[in-house]
Structures are given as structure tokens and as C-alpha cells.
Amino acid sequence: MRPVLLSDAREEIQRCVAYAEAKPMTHEEMLGRPDVRYCPAGAPLPEDDPERLHIPFDKGYECYIPVGIQCVFTIEEQPAPLNWCRHLSIRLTDGKSGARIHPVIANLIMQEFGFRNQVYPLPPEPKLIVYMDGEAVNIIEPKEDIVLP
């Protein structure tokens, strides 16, 4: 496991969070993005599409942690019951195929982005949606404290 110094990225993370909060995306805007596939909450994700873009429209939503970690953070409207959510995508950028972020590191990064819950260990009542998209782990957390179905 590589050492991660989030203090080196804290200012950039705060900039990214402020940007996302100033530019939240409605559900309609999310559906209009070519890098987003609509998948209703709880439905299985479609197979990876190699033609799919993996970059956000707007680089303001993106930041890098100086140990080879890319984060994309948005505040977005998801279908009910989720409504307004935090959405964080984390991937390693060192080019090692199949490399994944460690859950403990994901927890630390999530905390910096204002998440209230963690991916490991998962709580008995799920409060996050976590899925892999290619080599990125995606974490969605409702802004309101609800228990997911």
C-alpha cells in the first residue's frame, strides 16, 4: 500500500468541494452528460463500455491527490428516494491495470470530501451506494440521512 498524505491535497479537495456545491447537477443535467449512463438505484450496472468517456465535462469537479489518485466529486440529484447526493469517484492514475483503491484509503478520502459514512466496514443499515466503474470506485451518499432500500 502506498503512503497517502491528504494534508498535501486538502486545499485542492476543499476547492473541488466548493466548486461542486456551487454547481450542483440536476437529474436532467446528469442524463444529458455523455459520460453518464442512467442506471436506476438498485438496478445492476450495465457492462463496461470501452467507448464511454471517463472524464467529467468540467475539470472543476476533478482533483488529484499527489500520490497518483484522481477524484471526481459532484453534488447531484438522483431519482427518489436518494434525491440530492454526494458522488465521489476515486481511481488510481499510475497506469497499473486492475489496481484498486484500498477501502481504508477510500474512507479517509471520503471524510475529506464531507461524507458522513464509510465504505469499510459497511454499517448494518446501508447508507451508501458503492460500485466499480472500470477501475474507479464510485460512492454515492444521500445528503439527507436516509436508510437505503
pLDDT value of residue 55: 40
40-98 pLDDT per residue, tens: 444 444 454 444 434 446 889 999 998 889 999 999 998 888 889 999 999 998 767 67
Mean pLDDT in residue range 100-115: 92
CB atoms within 10 A of CB 142: 20
- Model-level pTM? 0.79
Assign 8 a pLDDT band (cuts: 50, 70, 90): confident
- pLDDT for 28: 82
Residue 79 backbone zone (phi > 0: left; psi -120 to 50: alpha; other: beta) = beta
Q: Which three cell numbers stand for residue 87?
A: 458522488
Quote the pLDDT of residue 35: 54
Residue 106 reports pLDDT greater than 70: yes
Q: What is the mean pLDDT of residues 110-139?
A: 87
Please work out, in degrees rounded to the nearest 5, the angle formed at the alpha carbon of residue 87 by the alpha carbons of 148 and 10. 130
Give tens-digit pLDDT for 16-40: 999 999 999 888 887 766 555 444 4
User: Can you tell me the distance from the alpha carbon of 87 to that of 89, in angstroms, rounded to the nearest whole number?
Assistant: 7
Confidence band, pLDDT 50/70/90 cuts, at residue 145: low
Q: Say yes or no: domain 6-37+54-142 is CATH 3.40.1720.
A: yes
Q: Please report which residue ranges of the chain form alpha helices under DSSP H.
A: 10-22, 27-31, 103-112
The domain locations on the chain are 6-37+54-142
Give whole-number Cα distances, 82 to 64, 75, 79, 87, 146, in Å: 27, 12, 6, 12, 8
Helix (H) or strand (E) holding 63: strand 62-65
pLDDT of res. 62: 92
Place of cell 454526494: 86
Cα separation of 41 and 54, whole Å? 20
Q: What pLDDT score was predicted for residue 32?
A: 67
Q: Which amino acid is at 101?
A: I
- Read off the pLDDT band of 2 (50, 70, 90): low
